[in-house]
Structure 1
Amino acid sequence: MSFPIAIWQGIARTDATPAALADLTAAATGAAAVGARLLVAPEVFFPGYNSDRIAELAQPRGGDWHHALSALCRETGCGLVVGYAERDGDAVFNAAVAFDATGAEVTHYRKTQLFGPREKAIFAPGDALCTFSVEGIKAAILICYDVEFAPLIRDLAGQGVRLILVPTANPEPNLHVSKLVVPAHAINHGLTIAYANYAGAEGDITYCGGSTIVAPDATVLAYAGPGPALITADIDRAPNPALIQNQLADYRAPKVT
C-alpha cells in the first residue's frame, strides 16, 4: 500500500505574504487534485529565506501565518509542511510547522544546525527533534543543513522514523546535496526523504532547485529541475525489506587508538 506526497519548488516571495499564500494555495490545490495527502514547501517560506526583515516580520507559533495555513489545509484537503520565521519572545527561530488535511497542527520543529554567519546572526538554534505520523508512517522534519548531518538521520531512524520531510533553501552550486547526500542518507538508514527547495533567485541568492523524493533503496521517485515545479511520488507504507540496508542494526563502535 502506498500514498502520494508532493513538493512545491516555488519562487521565494520575499516579504510578500499574499503572493506566497497564493502560490501555496495553487500548489496545494494541484497536489490535492492528484491525491497527495501532504505538500512540503521550502525553508522560511514566510517571509522568504533571504529577507532582510526576518527579525521584524517573524511571527509567533499560532499567529496569522499559522491560521492561514490551517485554513488552506481545510479548504484543499491536503496537509502541509511549511518553513517560517518563528518569533518567541526575544528569539527568532528557523522553524517549520506541519498540519494534517483537517488543518490541525501535528508537529512543530526548530532547525538545530544553523548554516553560516547570516543564519547564526538571525536565528537561535533549536534543541529537539520531534516525530509525528503521516498516513500511519512515523515521520520527522529536518530543515536544510540539518539533513547533511548523518547523526541526526541515525537518531531519527533509530526511533523508527521512516519518512523525513525537509524544507530547504539550497543555493547554487550545492546540487550535490539532493543528488548525492540525500540518496546516501536514504539508503544507509532505510527511509524516505522528501527535500523541498526553492527555484530562481532571491536577492543575491540563486537557488539550485533539484527538489527530490528518494526511496529507502535510493531510488529517485521524483526530481525537479531548476525551475518552479510541483512534483509528486507514491510513498510505500511497507517497503520491501530486501531493499533496506542494515547498517544501523549492524554498526559496532570501535575504539580509536
Structure 2
Amino acid sequence: MRLALLQAPSPAADDEAAFATLAAALNAAGAMGAATLTAPEIYLPGYNQPDIPARAQPRGGAWHQRLATLCRAAGCGIVIGYAERAGERVYNSAIAIDAAGREIAHYRKLQLYGPRENAIYTVGDAYTLFNLHGRTAALLICYDVEFAPHIAALADRGASLILCPTANMLPYTHVARVTVPAMAVNHAVTIAYANFCGSEGDLDYAGGSVIAGPDGEIIAQAGAHPALLVVDLPAAYDPARMSTQARDLRSL
C-alpha cells in the first residue's frame, strides 16, 4: 500500500488557503497512487487559533463535505485533524475519508496536552480501528502516540498501521526523532506522524514528520519545511526483525 503524508504550515483559520493546500497535496498523492494522505492536527481551522470553539464544526459539516469532494476528485483518501463541535462540547478530532468520499473512521483525542487543550476540548473515550486497503488501521492524535499503553492496546486489537495527525512544537524534536520510531518497533506497527512546520501565533512547530516501520526503519522523514512524503509499505516484513515483546512479556 502506498501512503502519503503532508507537512505544512497552519492555514491559520483561512479555509480557502487550507483547502487549496489540501487539494494540491491530494491531487499529487492521488496521481502517485497513494491510498490516503495524512495531514496535521486541528488543520481545520488551525491548531493555535484563539477562537477554536467559535470555529469548530460538526461532524459531517461543511469541512467534511469539501474534503469528500477533494478526495473523489483526487482518487485519494485523507486523514485529517479538525475541531469538532458536538452540541455544547468541542473535541480535538480526526476523520478518515476514503477515495470515494465516504467517512470510514472518526476519532476523538484521548490525551489532551497542557492547560490550553484541556480548557478547550472534551476528552475522547474510545479507540478507532478500521480497514484500510486490507490492513487494520487506527487513528491517534499527537500526544496520544507518546503513551505506550495506547499503542499496545491498538496492536492487541490487530492494528498494524497508526495514522497520527500532530501539532508538535519546539523544543520537542525528540518525539518524531526517537519516540515515534521506538513506539513503532516496540509494538510492531507502522506509524505515520504528520506535523506542522513554521509558526502560528506563539508556537514554533518542530516539523520532522515521519513514517516509521515496525522493523525499526524510518521509511521517510521530513525536515523543517513543507513536504509531501509518499512511501510504499511492504506487504510483509522480515520476521527476525519484528518485535516479540507482546508474546515475551513477563507479568510480575
| Correspondence for 2:173 | 175
Matches within 5 A, 1:40-189: 40-189=38-187
Cα distance in 2 for residues equivalent to 1:236 and 1:120: 38
Cα distance in 2 for residues equivalent to 1:74 and 1:52: 32
SS at match of 1:236: coil
Q: RMSD across aligned C-alpha pairs, in angstroms? A: 0.7
SS at match of 1:107: strand
Matches within 5 A, 1:184-223: 184-223=182-221
Give the letter aligned to residue 245 of structure 1: S
Large movers: runs of 4+ above 6 Å: none
Offset from partner CA, 1:150-170 (integer Å, 9 cap, x none): 000000000110000000000
Cα distance in 1 for residues equivalent to 2:169 and 2:175: 10
| Correspondence for 1:243 | 241
- The number of equivalent residue pairs is 252
Q: Any conservation in 2 of the 1:10–1:228 contact (CA below 8 Å)?
A: yes
SS at match of 2:105: strand
Unmatched segments (≥5 aa) in structure 1: none
SS at match of 2:126: coil
Shift of 1:130: 1.0
Range with greater deviation from structure 2 (239-248 or 210-219): 239-248
Shift of 1:15: 1.2
Matches within 5 A, 1:10-21: 10-21=8-19
Q: Any conservation in 2 of the 1:199–1:208 contact (CA below 8 Å)?
A: yes
Cα distance in 1 for residues equivalent to 2:132 and 2:235: 10
Give the letter aligned to residue 117 of structure 2: E
TM-score (norm 2): 0.99
Offset from partner CA, 1:182-201 (integer Å, 9 cap, x none): 11111111010000000100
Shift of 1:233: 1.1
| Correspondence for 1:25 | 23
Offset from partner CA, 1:195-253 (integer Å, 9 cap, x none): 00001000110001000001101201110000000011111233232221100111122
Q: Any conservation in 1 of the 2:140–2:164 contact (CA below 8 Å)?
A: yes
Cα distance in 2 for residues equivalent to 1:134 and 1:178: 24
Offset from partner CA, 1:64-119 (integer Å, 9 cap, x none): 00100111110000000000000000000000000111111000000000000000
Shift of 1:127: 0.3
SS at match of 1:30: helix
Shift of 1:53: 1.1
Q: Any conservation in 1 of the 2:215–2:237 contact (CA below 8 Å)?
A: no
Cα distance in 2 for residues equivalent to 1:207 and 1:220: 20
Q: Any conservation in 2 of the 1:137–1:237 contact (CA below 8 Å)?
A: no
Cα distance in 2 for residues equivalent to 1:123 and 1:106: 23
Give the letter aligned to residue 186 of structure 2: N
TM-score (norm 1): 0.97
SS at match of 2:80: strand
